[in-house]
Amino acid sequence: MGGYRVSKITIFVILAVSIVYLIYGTFFKEGPRFGVGAMPSSVRGSTDPLETGLDQILINLSKGQYSFLKAEIAVKAENRAAKAEIDRLREPLRRLVLNIASKEDGEILATPQGKEQFKARIIQEARQQLGLELEGVYFQNFVLAR
């Protein structure tokens, strides 16, 4: 009789631990959720082999009505050799983008023309300071806040 009771308690404990682990793993733990290769929404991949995503930036803007810029930026190389160079200089390029963004006027960035000028400055400064040839700059997320 004692063995029967021990096995019931053991099964109950295993079930309880399994349920707690499933709840913790599903709702509280960081990282992939269900499914193969599940990724957090803030990490987006590109199907373009010449595109490189820079980490999300959050920066104080120098002037204007808006004080903060939060953006996910990707850059596109002209060819595979340029892509390899961009990958090699990814961190200096990210710092360059942060430096350019910190000098921007938030009110100008709020306009479509301001965004295009910001992209053009990134392309120009990347060419001048880092020797990178960028075909384009893309915003996956672009949020201005006060």
Give the whole-number percent of the chain exceeding pLDDT 90.
Answer: 3
Length reported for the chain: 146
CA dihedral over 120, 109, 106, 87, signed as positive or negative: negative
Q: Which positions ≥6 away from 37 have C-beta within 8 Å?
A: none
* Predicted TM-score (pTM) of this structure: 0.64
φ/ψ of 46, rounded to 5, equals -110, 150
Q: What is the pLDDT of residue 35?
A: 42
CB atoms near residue 59 (< 10 Å): 18
**Distances in Å between the alpha carbon of 48 and those of 52, 84, 120?**
9, 14, 21
> What whole-number distance in Å separates Cα of residue 143 and Cα of residue 66?
10
Convert the pLDDT of each residue in 116-133 to its tens digit. Answer: 998 899 889 888 888 888
Q: What is the pLDDT of residue 39?
A: 43
φ/ψ of 49, rounded to 5, equals -70, -15
Three-state SS for 102? helix
Q: What is the pLDDT of residue 101?
A: 83
Convert the pLDDT of each residue in 65-81 to its tens digit. Answer: 777 888 888 888 888 88
Confidence of residue 24 (pLDDT cuts 50, 70, 90): low
> What whole-number distance in Å separates Cα of residue 117 and Cα of residue 140?
17
